[in-house]
A and B are shown apart, each in its own frame.
Chain A
Amino acid sequence: MTSLHEPGAAAGPRTGRPRRRRVGTGGRRGVPLPLLLPGLLALAFLLLPLVALLVRAPWGSLPDQLSSTEVWQALQLSLVSATAATAVSLVLGVPLAWLLARTEFPGRGFVRALVTLPLVLPPVVGGVALLLALGRNGVIGKWLDAWFGITLPFTTTGVVIAEAFVAMPFLVISVEGTLRAADPRFEEAATTLGASRFTAFHRVTLPLIAPGIAAGAVLAWARALGEFGATITFAGNFPGRTQTMPLAVYLALQNDPDAAISLSLVLLAVSIAVLAGLRDRWMTTS
């Protein structure tokens, strides 16, 4: 028993390589059928619609469909705003996750439930709620407008806000779970070495839960990239400013389904490239 100090027993961080190898050999040693069949069915269920998209894609007219500047504008805007929304989620969401996991305060369970609310809220309702809060006439937006002349709806900032609103819960939940699994005594150990609670957090806890944060960030990014309802409701739809790919896809669907499929393919290809680039190990902890 020389490995008691290894955090793998309780905490999130793990070494990717040996773990994966172990799983691999375990998989070949006979997988129970009640797990294998539904598992494969689930995979098929998730992949079939995407395959159908590929089969029915208008490959011939694809170059024409994708040559318009609006498509690339929308794609660029999507990537920029999803990344910005993820950054906002990280900067605000990780501290929130820490508060939920590491501090005691009355009504914490209730607060945690509130945090997950955007997950169950229909995004369009989320967009309306954002308008009521941050719109020109909103509870807070009114003052933003009056004092600073800032209006958020119909701006790219508005897109980022709408995406962060729906994406942040994914990050918070993922990071909070990792934090709960991580041994809080590492923070205590850092404290006894003279580290303030914040130093302990960013020099010890943060590196320890990095994989969980990365997984949460990937989830949040993916959610932000595909966000439609809250975006179009809060930020509207204007090419180059607030028209992200999902909005372009939706509107193309109105009169030119082929164009919609082409746009979706672009979005899919980019997401797959990014997610695969981040490696599956980032996605293992959540």
Chain B
Amino acid sequence: MTDNRPAAADGASAPQGPPAPDNDSCTGGAGGNPKPAEGRHPTTHPHPITGLDARLVVDRAAFHLDITLTAAPGDVLALLGPNGAGKTTALRALAGLTPLTDGHLNLDGASLDRTPPESRPVGVVFQDYLLFPHLTALDNVAFGPRCQGVSKSEAREQAGAWLDRMGLAAHAGAKPRRLSGGQAQRVALARALATHPRLLLLDEPLAALDARTRLEVRGQLRRHLAEFEAVAVLVTHDPLDAMVLADRLVVIEHGRVVQEGTPADIARHPRTDYIAQLVGLNLYRGRAERHTVRLDAGPEITTTEDLSGPVFVAFPPSAVTLFRDRPTGASARNLWRCEVAGLETHGDQIRADLDGELSLAADVTTVAAAELELHPGAAVWATVKAMQTHAYPA
């Protein structure tokens, strides 16, 4: 099932960077639980003494956030979701910058509901870092310890050690505007860590970086997060960042958790169109009866899995084969008559968006596209082998 590897919606090709740390992610099928208890620490549920246990409810005009988050020390949790889903609001609520309308927030067994942000053992790396422009890198990092009552020289010593760890000792005296994006990101991380937080929050930690820096910083960040002994929560809209950096993904749409699990599980078993799109799969909901799934969208699809009841069926665009004429004598049971709605290049392939009996995305080679004379409005037959579909309980 290598075809099912996570593919970023905006990614260029199938093989994606370093694989996610999906240590024991082979706990297959757990996606069907209403509250999937995945991750390396089975002790996190239901109420961990240590770590994070939160239900965040924030009500604002035309926006309602209600999510539950739990994590054990050492966990890296990624909040993934489209813009406006409520990720940043959740992060601000964790930091205490946005008050909770309802719910609770416990960290290491202590309630933080009423704790003001300055008294929370929480460190934040902001999206654009928000390094204080009038202070040097060193004084930026020393700011937190200073606020905690550490003497000036002691705070600077600690800050120096942090910058050293980040490989930034040479830039200790630089003002933020003299730092590169990657350096600024590391200073921001050092600044957040210097307060010894029990909860580290990262808001789109890589979004402000250009593509090349991003690759490098992502690797460094992954290392630093792995070393971090308390709970880390990062917010991102980039599935690649989420999958590389996090142990566990929490997908948020419209202020609600729509799915959570390990990166590998989410990549294999998307449960919403948004996630399916992120990981590059065609996804349908239907009702299974043995090997046949009647899709809510209309046609039937044959799968290898033997299931009954409501299910999801997913297959990658690369599993779709297109024909100009109805293939004769083919055993293809999963055969649909479609019309090309749109075409776009997708790496070295052409991605065809198809309408008709079934809406789906299909990847074909440039040569095949030419032979098929694909153009918007062209009629095609699409088929997918049962072997290459994947059904799982909804």
- Give A residues with C-beta under 8 Å from B: 1-7, 11, 13, 183, 185-186, 188-197, 199, 203-204, 207-208
Contact = CB atoms under 8 A, between A and B. Distances in A.
B382 to A, nearest CB: 41
Contact of A189 (B116, B124, B181): B124
A189 B203 CA distance: 12
A167 to B, nearest CB: 27
Contacts of B195: 193-194
A186 B95 CA distance: 14
Interface of B: 95-97, 116-120, 122-124, 126, 128-134, 143-144, 147-148, 176-177, 179-181, 184, 191-192, 195, 208-210, 213
Scoring A4, A6, A192, A197 by chain B CB atoms within 10 A of each residue's CB, the highest score goes to A192
Contact of B180 (A2, A6, A7, A199): A2
Given A1-B210, A5-B176, A189-B124, A194 B144 contact: yes
Given A1-B208, A4-B129, A208-B133, A196 B177 contact: no
Contacts of B116: 191
Contacts of B117: 188, 191-192
Contacts of B95: 192
24 contacts: A2-B180, A2-B210, A2-B213, A4-B128, A4-B129, A5-B130, A5-B131, A5-B133, A5-B177, A6-B133, A6-B177, A11-B133, A185-B126, A190-B132, A190-B143, A191-B97, A191-B118, A192-B117, A193-B118, A193-B143, A194-B195, A196-B118, A208-B132, A208-B133
Nearest to B147: A194
A183 B180 CA distance: 21
Contacts, number: 90
Nearest to A7: B133
Nearest to A207: B134
Given A4-B129, A5-B131, A208-B134, A199 B124 contact: no
Contacts of A192: 95-97, 117-118, 120, 122-124, 192
Contacts of A7: 133
B180 A186 contact: no
A189 B130 contact: yes
A128 B126 CA distance: 52
B128 to A, nearest CB: 4
Contacts of B143: 190, 193, 195, 203
Contact of B147 (A2, A183, A195, A207): A195
* Most A CB within 10 A of own CB, among B122, B133, B184: B133
Contacts of B129: 4-5
A4 B97 contact: no
Contact of A195 (B118, B131, B180): B118
Contacts of B180: 2
A183 B131 CA distance: 12
Contacts of B191: 193
B147 to A, nearest CB: 4
Contacts of B181: 1-2, 4
A5 B128 contact: yes
Most buried by A among B117, B179, B192, B213: B117
